[in-house]
Amino acid sequence: MATSDASGIAEIVGRLLIPLCAASGALVLAGFFFPTLVGEAVTGPVWLTVALVFFTSALCYIALLPYSEDTTAPAAADVFLRVRQTDLRQAVREFLAQHEPSILAFPVLVFAVFFGLQIAFPARTTGAVDAAAATVLRGGGPLFLAAVFLSVCYCVVLLLGPWGDIKLGGSDTEPSYTYPTYFTLVFTAGIAAGLVFWGPTEALFHYNQPPPYIGATAGSQNAIDGALVYTLFHWGVSAWSAYAVIGVPIAYFAFTRGAPLRVSTVLAPVLGTDGLDSAWTKLVDTLAVFATIGGIATSVALVSEQFLAGINYQWGVAAGEVGPVLFVGGLTLIFVVSSATGIHRGIRRIAGLNVVLFALFTLLMVAVGPRSFVLDRGTQALGTYMLEFVPLSLHTGGQWVAEWTVWNWSWWFSWAPFAGLFVAALSRGRRVRTVVFTTVVATSAATMVWFLLLGGTSLFIQHTGRADLLAAIAQRGGSEAVAGFPLLSSLALGQLLLFLFLALIIVFIATSADTSTLVVSVLATRRGVAPSTTHIVFWGVFQGVVAVSVLLLGGAETLQALAVLTGGPFAVISLVAAGGLAVTWLRDERGHTSLLRRAVRKLPAIQTHHDVDPPEEK
């Protein structure tokens, strides 16, 4: 519960942010859309600073707006959802007394050792981690391919079978959020700014170097179709299923069996709810914290570098060495404030803004993009994706599959702990079928529309010669960050699209980082205790410090590879959890009806209706 002092401070800070946001926003919009009014009075680095102030102040103000808590909200989720505010001395005492010592010490120690080795032996550290990652991806390729394919099959069973009818929390439990809010939170937490950068880029890479499975000539019509198919494959239902197979077991045992709302609860089918306070469960939670911090911190660092690389390409603005650090600092402030204000305030509002910007950008792209090309090629690619799904999923394909498909699956599984736990926390009162539909079907549908639209447009622009996007990428060392800028500049309303594109980058990474901060804070505190504001601020700042350290010391790709390695254990854990949950439901959950059986039962009724009421034309 928020104290009056904390609420008063938040209100004062919010009022101070209004003029700051208005002034910086006016300057940014004037310089962006009416550059002749400003001229050269403001230099490039100053533009970056002003823009960062604008986005930071605007998003922090949205997060700090007052919220009247609904006193009728279910109390079972309070452990996860409520953030308690305390004074400084009480916060310090609670921080020391309520933290899990191993989860506090292990990630800090591992990251300290990593950066120490990066300073002392950068080449050896990078080589060792890259070699380990390459070995795991090549040798463990069949494991990842099997885990993802089985996860998809499991989600299909939950979606269509009788277990989908199970209501999490009991038949009388009502959802904590409306469905639009539920979808918004799930979608924005599970995917970061990589969606924005890779949207116009991945299909181009596959068009220029077609996957072996496609067997097309680079730059050909067949290469266009194959590029879109593989892009859908890497970002569609296979990817999102990794979150569902972690989230559903946690939600079931937390809300129907009284298990703690933690990642380690996926082991409840094996250990039982009474055995979730063991060394194994602490190891799983600790590994989840490490994977989350490593994944989010490297994403923040890489997004910062990519964002500034795109700015430099488009407007020739050099950020220098300080620019990325300032950018990470601004992002850290946004997601710390957002996570500290809780799900009902900052996290929910910024996620809502994210979806609004996403929808607006998509509609504008439909309006100004090559609609006929995207519709024709997109429809064909979608059909091929559905028909070839099983062969694509089981295709081992050597080095290419290891570097693209297996790497993607490992990365999604490394994000699955925090995304799955967040899905579970939101799903109280929902049926399993709704959870799976939202987490896998609805989210992947939105993602695939995005990739078909941006990927199809970039392929059209490249193939017709309206702009050489591949050359722009090559000029920047192969960075996927720059492809969107020449693409959008070649379209009508290019400036508006570029502005929304930049805003989406910031908001998408913020919505994933604020969720991860809250999840890590929950995992790091002792069981049954809500994270205090001090916990949230500490772990949010820690993620920012890791990101800044990556920028200053180098090794972003190395740390990313290290985080990806955690995908292997969670791929195995997810299969164990899914199997154990199936056994539990076979034993304890009987009497539910599948969608298929419901459809079959309706057929006789329809036939009887026609027999009783024949047409009256005679």
DSSP 85: -
Quick count: other Cβ atoms within 10 Å of Cβ 142? 11
**Average pLDDT value for the chain:** 86
Mean pLDDT calculated for residue range 397-404? 88
pLDDT tens, 421-443?
Answer: 999 999 999 999 999 999 999 99
Q: Residue 179 is which amino acid?
A: Y
pLDDT tens, 558-592?
Answer: 888 888 888 889 999 999 999 999 999 999 888 78
Q: Is the pLDDT of residue 83 over 50?
A: no
**Which of 212-226, 298-312, 578-592 is least confident?**
298-312
DSSP 217: P
DSSP 427-457: -TT-BHHHHHIIIIIIHHHHHHHHHHHHHHH
Instruction: Please give the pLDDT value at position 12.
Output: 66
Mean pLDDT calculated for residue range 513-525? 92
Does an H or E element contain 296, and which? Answer: helix 279-315
Dihedral angle over CA of 220, 221, 226, 231, nearest 10: 100
Q: List residues bridging with 525 in a β-sheet.
A: 99
Q: Is the pLDDT of residue 616 over 50?
A: no
DSSP 505-516: HHHHHHHHHHHH
Instruction: Please give the pLDDT value at position 4.
Output: 38
Instruction: Please give the pLDDT value at position 36.
Output: 63
Q: Is the pLDDT of residue 80 over 50?
A: no
Instruction: Please give the pLDDT value at position 39.
Output: 52
- Burial of 120 per CB tally in 10 Å (0-12, 13-18, 19+): exposed
pLDDT-derived band at 5 (thresholds 50, 70, 90) equals: very low
Q: Is the pLDDT of residue 84 over 50?
A: no
Instruction: Please give the pLDDT value at position 44.
Output: 62
pLDDT-derived band at 525 (thresholds 50, 70, 90) equals: confident
Quick count: other Cβ atoms within 10 Å of Cβ 127? 12
pLDDT-derived band at 167 (thresholds 50, 70, 90) equals: very high
What is the C-alpha radius of gyration for the chain, rounded to an integer number of angstroms? 25
Answer for the pair 201, 451: CB distance below 8 angstroms, yes or no: no
pLDDT-derived band at 262 (thresholds 50, 70, 90) equals: very high
HSE-up of 591 (CA within 13 Å, CB side)? 3
Q: Is the pLDDT of residue 77 over 50?
A: no
Q: Is the pLDDT of residue 389 over 80?
A: yes
Angle at 504 between CA 41 and CA 415, to 5 degrees: 135
Instruction: Please give the pLDDT value at position 475.
Output: 87
CA 164 to chain centre: 24
Q: What CA–CA distance (Å, rounded) separates 419 from 573?
A: 15
Number of alpha helices (DSSP H) and beta strands (DSSP E) in the chain: 30, 0
**Which of 331-335, 351-355, 413-417, 592-596 is least confident?**
592-596
Q: List residues bridging with 431 in a β-sheet.
A: 167
Alpha helices in 316-406 (DSSP H): 322-341, 348-368, 371-387, 389-394, 398-401
Q: What CA–CA distance (Å, rounded) separates 121 from 151?
A: 39
Answer for the pair 546, 293: CB distance below 8 angstroms, yes or no: yes
Instruction: Please give the pLDDT value at position 314.
Output: 74
Answer for the pair 258, 273: CB distance below 8 angstroms, yes or no: yes
Three-state DSSP at 211 gives coil
DSSP 542: H
pLDDT tens, 352-380?
Answer: 999 999 999 999 999 999 999 999 999 99
Q: What CA–CA distance (Å, rounded) separates 398 from 306?
A: 29
Q: What CA–CA distance (Å, rounded) separates 448 from 358?
A: 13
- Burial of 357 per CB tally in 10 Å (0-12, 13-18, 19+): middle
Which is more confidently placed, 33 or 269?
Answer: 269
Answer for the pair 354, 511: CB distance below 8 angstroms, yes or no: yes
Instruction: Please give the pLDDT value at position 605.
Output: 55
Q: What CA–CA distance (Å, rounded) separates 114 from 128?
A: 12
Answer for the pair 204, 459: CB distance below 8 angstroms, yes or no: yes
The pTM of this model reads 0.90
Q: List residues bridging with 368 in a β-sheet.
A: none
Q: Is the pLDDT of residue 6 over 50?
A: no
Q: What CA–CA distance (Å, rounded) separates 477 from 497?
A: 24
- Phi and psi torsions of 525, nearest 5°: -85, 165
Q: What CA–CA distance (Å, rounded) separates 2 from 294?
A: 30
Answer for the pair 246, 416: CB distance below 8 angstroms, yes or no: yes
DSSP 318: -
Mean pLDDT calculated for residue range 16-35? 80
Angle at 49 between CA 43 and CA 50, to 5 degrees: 85
Q: What CA–CA distance (Å, rounded) separates 143 from 423?
A: 24
Does an H or E element contain 147, and which? Answer: helix 141-160
Mean pLDDT calculated for residue range 112-141? 89
Instruction: Please give the pLDDT value at position 74.
Output: 41
pLDDT-derived band at 43 (thresholds 50, 70, 90) equals: low
Instruction: Please give the pLDDT value at position 3.
Output: 36
Mean pLDDT calculated for residue range 27-39? 69
Q: Is the pLDDT of residue 526 over 60?
A: yes
- Burial of 608 per CB tally in 10 Å (0-12, 13-18, 19+): exposed
pLDDT-derived band at 35 (thresholds 50, 70, 90) equals: low
CA 248 to chain centre: 17
